[in-house]
Chain A
Amino acid sequence: MAGILVWVETFNGELRKASREALGAGQKFADHQKVSLDAVVFNAGPAALAELGSMGLRKLFTVSGESFAKYSSEGYCAAVAEAGLKSGADVYLACASSLGRDLTGRLAAKLDAALATDVTEILWDKTPLSVRRPVYSGKLLAQTELLASCKVLSLRPNVFAPAQTRTGAVETVALTLADVKIRAQVQKAVAAAQGVLDVTEAEIIVSGGRGVGGPDGFKVIEGLAHTLNAAVGASRAAVDAGWIPYAHQVGQTGKVVSPVLYIACGISGAIQHFAGMGSSKFIVAVNIDKEAPIMAKADFAIVGDLFKVVPVLQQELAKARAK
């Protein structure tokens, strides 16, 4: 192995949490393999640059300018490949965010690399480099060997530990690229409402299913989510009923999440729902039916009516937090 390059995703100029995790994996990787760790970042603000300056990176490639003001797969891929060439890297790490997934497929094809997406574990001691990633709706884990000399990995958010602060000066290299061909470009971006956490990025998710009974029932879910600083999730049954927008759906046809804590309220725990949240660290379920599949999978199962349990839980948690 020659070197590692991490693509760092920013949002409004700041580092994304999932990118801090990719950088953390990069640090561990570089330590293990005794190779250099470089990163490439687009449109980084001063805070992001300062943060990237204290992670023990060897080189930081920065990209800005009109062609890169907004994400494009072609433009970003060209720049990351260019940074990789200058870095001499043969392992590329990215977070498996929406854009990370968009980028890594193109990058791996361009570099004729081995690709592993949505990786949940790197097997640090194996040769050839091996990773674990969920397959078949999370029912199995694939141990995948990356055999090509160049390797591209995207890492599932919320799984890897974030980068540590380290000393040592980083060499910053501003990349300029001439003539990038960009044929797909973001024209409009409508930001999600302030304070609405995306389920893929949240440490805690409170989810509601058919048991919530209707759009008003989600107020109970939102209440607990608010107290816990959590994102609001939902089962497909709740989304299909029109009680909550699709962006909240967790599962096979929704989003795959790995929070520290997943609280399922009025959700039976169908295999397709479990496909989206089965890798949560802790699962709590509130269900009137003690035989519901989710109850067997939960780390803490409360047999009861969510309308009676959840508001009291919210109250008591608020009290406990205030202490």
Chain B
Amino acid sequence: MNIAVILKQVPDTEAVVKPDPAKPGAILETDIKFILNTYDEYAVEEAVRIVEKTGGEAVGVCIGPERAEAAIRSALAMGLSRALWVSEPDAVSADVITQAKVLAAAIKTLSPGLVLCGREMIDTQEDAIASAAAQFLDMPQVLNAAKITIDGEKAVVLREVESASLEIEAKLPAVISCGKGLNEPRYPNLMSIKKAKNKEIKKLTLAELGLQAGPAKARIAALEAPAPRAKGVRVEGEVASMVAQGVDWLMKVAKVV
């Protein structure tokens, strides 16, 4: 089975991010370490494991600027065989629905039996790529998988929602977004990292995908720092006295008791 894996490069979670005053909606990129989106690692790992079992190939599909090559290479080092990459600014800066449409067009060229992606992009905190791409690909989807079992023509997926654990059967081809707990992503060894340098990354343009840039459906007009939290109260010393002050605060300020 051939598998397409959607990839994105994002700032490391430890990064101190600041809005770029010159570019509304963008962050200052100096001093930021970029990584493969944390959840994409689960998708890559799952794809590689499935292909190791069933044959076929696992191919990365990425929208990202020039710096994104590093993230693509790290996914190749984990075992993807090659990757497709759209780096045109019109795609890179597009809203999530437009990006899903671009990804779907690139994925179509692979005729995959399965499409995997991470549960959420940790930079924009968006998790709609899987559902939106599934709609554009005319496939079913399951989000935030904790377990995937491929069973012939279908995938059996476990996921959790607020009040229940669900077992969902999806007819293949399907799009599945991958969550924590699905697997333990591997650390590529030196050999794999070296090999990844020679794997093919094919750039695709929107025109080659039969698409053209349209008006933005949504755009980030500004990035703002959240209002700082008001300075809190700190108590030290005797347990009884701290607790008494705590109860008083909970009743009078938080008003929850």
Contacts and interface: CB of A to CB of B under 8 A. Distances in A.
Interface of A: 11, 16, 73-74, 77, 97-99, 101-106, 108-110, 112-118, 130, 132-148, 182-192, 198, 200-201, 203-204, 228, 246-247, 252-254, 260-261, 271-272, 275, 278-279, 281-284, 290, 295, 297-304, 308-309, 312-313, 316-317, 320-321
Given A142-B222, A143-B222, A144-B221, 16 more contacts: A11-B163, A98-B143, A98-B161, A102-B141, A112-B217, A114-B218, A130-B221, A135-B123, A135-B124, A184-B168, A184-B170, A189-B164, A190-B164, A301-B235, A302-B235, A313-B243
B233 A187 contact: no
B232 A300 contact: yes
A295 B247 CA distance: 18
Contact of B135 (A101, A110, A299, A300): A110
Contacts of B34: none
Contact of A200 (B124, B162, B251): B162
Contact of B180 (A198, A253, A297, A316): A253
A142 B223 contact: yes
Contact of B161 (A97, A104, A204, A278): A97
Nearest to A278: B226
A113 B13 contact: no
Interface of B: 11, 13-17, 19, 25, 27, 38-39, 95-97, 100-101, 122-136, 139-144, 146, 156, 159-171, 174, 180-181, 215-226, 229-230, 232-236, 239-240, 242-244, 246-247, 249-251, 253-254, 256-257
Interface centre among A109, A139, A204 (most CB of B within 10 A): A109
A246 B124 CA distance: 23
A295 B72 CA distance: 39
Nearest to A191: B164
A247 B60 CA distance: 30
B125 A301 contact: no
A143 B225 CA distance: 11
B143 A309 contact: no
